[in-house]
Amino acid sequence: MTETKKPLRSQAWFGRQDKMGFYYRSFLKNSGTPQDAFDGRPVIGICNTWSELTPCNGHFRDLAKHVREGVLEAGGYPLEFPVSSLGEVTMRPTAMLYRNLASMDVEEAIRAHPLDGVVLLMGCDKTTPALVMGAASADLPTIGVSGGPQLRGVYRGQIIGSGTNIISMSEQLRAGEITLEEFHEAEAGMNRSSGHCMTMGTASTMASLVEALGLGLPENAAIPAADARRNHLARMAGRRIVEMVHEDLILSKILVREAFENAIRTLGAIGGSTNAVVHLLAIARRVGIELTLADFDRLGQGVHCLVDLMPSGRFLMEDFYYAGGLPVVLRTLGEQGLLHRQAPTVNGKTLWENVQAAQCWNREVITEWSAPFKPEAGMAILRGNLAPDGAVIKPSAAMPELMQHTGRAVVFESIEDLHARKDDDTLDIDPSCIMVLKNCGPKGYPGMAEVGNMPIPKKLLKQGVRDMIRISDARMSGTAYGTVVLHVAPEAAAGGPLALVRNGDMITLDVPARSLHLHVEAAELAARRAAWVPPPAHAGRGYVKLYTDHVLQADQGADLDFLVGRSGSPVPRDNH
Ligand code: FES
């Protein structure tokens, strides 16, 4: 066995020849584990988010077996353990409310147990940031293994994409363009295999960023869940994590500033989800890197969107993998001087060493730099008297003619208010108006739900309107699209200026100038503020109270204030 550079952490449990050593070894022997498993080999935790309530991660017990095989082959001792799972579509009010809770679960589970290294099994949207945040605060050698996207959705001969076509088909249903039977038939065609959403939504975006950060093995982003090569990757991760323990390659040696800058540029090049902004900010702050919204705007400059994937484009993650996947995108960025080539990765090579020979097999899916899918990419960060701490818009998902626009505000005080009035024929709204939604931020919803892409009011849908400017403190599904200003900070429920907007106010969105301006005099705003009453508390006890008392604003990653930073993995005191 390869010599380790420092004593294994797990030996504080298993290396003892006393009463406590008996306890620690004896109970694990009931699963058939022989004595030699405790002889000083690396103990690898397989952190599993399997749950029937998280269908995107429903294949993770099988995936974990492949990781386990790899760990055993490399001379490690695998121990699989469950953590909170976050099913994006099943959790109410929003899985994001529980991202930070799950991250605490992960961090404390890692620290409390006799582990030397960890493999994170992640898939559905929030499971990736939750596990990476928790693991980052614990800071052991760590590899991320994503579960992989579903196969393409297919309905009546048409390719359909997760979320993206749900949104368009639900609009068609509301407009009476399709029947309920057709709607139900499409549901089964959409999710026809294991895996997470197969558009470039938040899950695929985060899986791509795991690879771009150097935290996953090459090809992690796009291999479909149902493709045997996903299992190969899991097995190789199992082998590699044992070596990483011997090398003491802890997570904070991977998650360096250059890695985050690579991830931000990658986010632009893949046309990724706006949610990644919040998640990357939170992950960076766990390892002490002061990433800011300004970094997203600055680093996104000059980056082209290279992949023609839904929600903005035509193809799906399966096509992306067959075309060469993320290594092609990273190679292209590297050739343009837009990659920190020396950034470390979990396989011990630099990011550039991993991707420099990548080849593209389909230039329709992954375009050449000289003829990009979209020349403009990345996130635009807006500021102004309506968003003093920033707001986010994804220009590539928006209508170009609305990038500079002044319109009359039509205000909804809450999501309930929106649902109650959006289809009212008497709603005073036209396509030039700007829809404003309040109280959907981290504290306001609570959890900052994905409701920022408000449905177009029915009377406008009937006129053929499919997009208009919408502004809120909410997030938006990564599978959604439209001229949608999100993450307004400070949020309305925290007393941000968004709380002061009234029907009829004029608002100017100027994306080229990075500006979001409310045309109301300062004295009038001051008077409105004096009359403003904060919304009532969502809870008087329990996790929701803890969350709303401590959650940071979107521009700081919406983490809980006391979770920022890391404590490492000191061995806790004995439990007897
Ligand atoms: Fe799980 Fe979309 S619902 S990734």
Q: Name the domain boundary from 136, 162, 192.
A: 192
Tell me if 450 CB under 6 Å of ligand 1: no
Query: What was the pLDDT predicted at 478?
Result: 78
Helix (H) or strand (E) holding 301: none
In Å, how far are 83, 124, 288, 360, 426 from 317, measured between CA atoms? Answer: 27, 14, 32, 14, 42
Beta strands in 479-566 (DSSP E): 484-485, 506-510, 515-518
DSSP H helical ranges for 147-218: 164-174, 180-190, 202-212
Q: What are phi and psi of 421, to 5 degrees?
A: -115, -10
Residue 340 alpha carbon to ligand 1 centre in Å: 30
Shortest-distance atom of ligand 1 to CA 203: 4
Q: What is the pLDDT of residues 522-570, one digit of tens each?
A: 999 999 999 999 999 999 999 999 999 999 999 999 999 999 999 999 9
Q: Name the domain boundary from 170, 192, 214.
A: 192
C-alpha span between 182 and 480 (Å, rounded)? 21
Q: In the chain, how many domains are there?
A: 2
| Residue of 103, 451, 78, 45 lying closest to 287 (CA atoms) | 103
Residue 479 alpha carbon to ligand 1 centre in Å: 10
C-alpha span between 459 and 402 (Å, rounded)? 20
Are the C-beta atoms of 270 and 326 separated by less than 8 Å? yes
Return the residue whose CA atom lies nearest to atom 3 of ligand 1: 88
CA atoms within 13 A on the CB side of 356: 9
Tell me if 126 CB under 6 Å of ligand 1: no
In a domain? residue 335: no
In a domain? residue 157: yes
Domain range for 504 is 380-535
Shortest-distance atom of ligand 1 to CA 87: 1
Give me the amino acid identity at 371: A
Residue 118 alpha carbon to ligand 1 centre in Å: 23
C-alpha span between 281 and 296 (Å, rounded)? 10
Residue 384, domain CATH: 3.50.30.80
For residue 36, name the pLDDT band (cuts at 50, 70, 90): very high
Query: For residue 407, what are the contacts with CB-CB under 8 A and spacing of at least 6?
Result: 432, 433, 434, 469, 506, 507, 509
Q: What is the pLDDT of residues 197-214, one digit of tens each?
A: 999 999 999 999 999 999
C-alpha span between 40 and 15 (Å, rounded)? 7
Tokens of 275: 């949610």
For residue 444, name the pLDDT band (cuts at 50, 70, 90): very high
In a domain? residue 56: no
Are the C-beta atoms of 254 and 234 separated by less than 8 Å? no
In a domain? residue 494: yes
C-alpha span between 381 and 393 (Å, rounded)? 7
Mean pLDDT of 46-69: 98
Q: What is the mean pLDDT of the chain?
A: 95
C-alpha span between 330 and 234 (Å, rounded)? 21
Residue 89 alpha carbon to ligand 1 centre in Å: 7
Residue 405 alpha carbon to ligand 1 centre in Å: 33
In a domain? residue 188: yes
Tell me if 197 CB under 6 Å of ligand 1: yes
Q: What is the pLDDT of residues 297-347, one digit of tens each?
A: 999 999 999 999 998 899 999 999 999 999 999 999 999 999 999 999 999
Residue 167 alpha carbon to ligand 1 centre in Å: 14
Burial category of 3 from C-beta neighbours within 10 Å (exposed 0-12, middle 13-18, buried 19 and up):
exposed
Q: Best substitution site from 59, 91, 124 to test ligand 1's pocket, by max atoms within 8 Å of Cβ? A: 124
In a domain? residue 502: yes
Tell me if 125 CB under 6 Å of ligand 1: yes
Mean pLDDT of 136-143: 98
Shortest-distance atom of ligand 1 to CA 123: 4
Query: What was the pLDDT predicted at 1?
Result: 45
Shortest-distance atom of ligand 1 to CA 479: 2
Tell me if 225 CB under 6 Å of ligand 1: no
In a domain? residue 540: no
Tell me if 203 CB under 6 Å of ligand 1: yes
pTM equals 0.96
Tell me if 162 CB under 6 Å of ligand 1: yes
In a domain? residue 482: yes
Q: Name the domain boundary from 518, 535, 552.
A: 535
Shortest-distance atom of ligand 1 to CA 57: 1
Q: What is the pLDDT of residues 225-247, one digit of tens each?
A: 999 999 999 999 999 999 999 99
Return the residue whose CA atom lies nearest to atom 1 of ligand 1: 124
Residue 123 alpha carbon to ligand 1 centre in Å: 8
